[in-house]
Amino acid sequence: MQPGLAVVIVGNDSASQVYVANKEKACTELGMYSEKHALPEDTTEEELLALVDRLNNDPKIHGILVQLPLPKHLDDKLIINHILPEKDVDAFHPVNVGKIMIGDFDFVPCTPAGVMELIKESDVSVEGKECVVIGRSNIVGKPMSMLLLHQNGTVTICHSRTKDLKEVTKKADILVAAVGIPKFVKADMVKPGAVVIDVGMDRDENGKLCGDVDFAEVEPIAGAITPVPGGVGPMTIAMLMRNTLTAAKRAFGIND
């Protein structure tokens, strides 16, 4: 049994190119079969759907990942919904989203899954903790909140319309920043001793890679904090590999 992952990228988004290269490298290191389908910017919806169909029907491929964002003329939702749920290793298909909601899931979106693994490996218990997630995206914020809830955390989701944001975040024992604004979370937004997890991947005013948390400000008061780069990012790749392995096991009828 060799797990197989197909990654589809459309256009020339530089961040997406880096992510795809990292996924290819991880597959090679783990002995997984991988395919990269790099399509031009002007690829039509029909062409992309035809490729997804072919991958859906390819027995060598157990996981399909369409790299987001897609060019504006392509409908993300239409493309994602076309991937077979059992091959949707990003866990974006409505069937997999529903399974996460009820707590009976095969796959979890890779970034929230990576965050939960970091919490677990740091011997931090979520149960009974005040958990605050900044950001309500379908990719991170919403599934992140569900996973914390399944671990018996008391979860608050903050967003652009949240009033007195600072007052909410300062109550968090576990704070997850997934807002996409460089160095958004400052020291005065964080409870001393809190676990701070930075999902952001931004560029600062000098073009240097940074996260949503002002690391230099927050590190001295946090009980634990993830850096950017090198924190959640590698975990996202690891969880993609785990989801692909799970999909392959399901395809081969292996239950453990």
- In whole angstroms, give the CA distance from residue 132 to residue 153: 10
- In whole angstroms, give the CA distance from residue 232 to residue 121: 13
Per-residue confidence in pLDDT tens, the chain, 256 aa: 899 999 999 998 777 777 888 888 999 999 999 999 999 999 999 999 999 999 999 999 999 999 988 999 999 999 999 999 999 999 999 999 999 999 999 899 999 999 999 999 999 999 999 999 999 999 999 999 999 999 999 999 999 999 999 999 999 999 999 999 999 999 999 999 999 999 998 888 888 889 999 999 999 999 999 999 999 999 999 999 999 999 999 999 887 6
pLDDT at 18: 79
Q: Is 142 a catalytic residue?
A: no
Residue from 88, 90, 173, 214 carrying the catalytic annotation: 90
Residue from 2, 13, 17, 23 carrying the catalytic annotation: 23
Per-residue pLDDT tens for 34-82? Answer: 999 999 999 999 999 999 999 999 999 999 999 988 999 999 999 999 9
pTM (whole model) above 0.85: yes
The alpha carbon dihedral of 64, 68, 74, 77 has a sign of: positive
Q: Is 188 a catalytic residue?
A: no
Domains in the chain (CATH in brackets) are 4-94 (3.40.50.10860), 110-233 (3.40.50.720)
Q: Is 204 a catalytic residue?
A: no
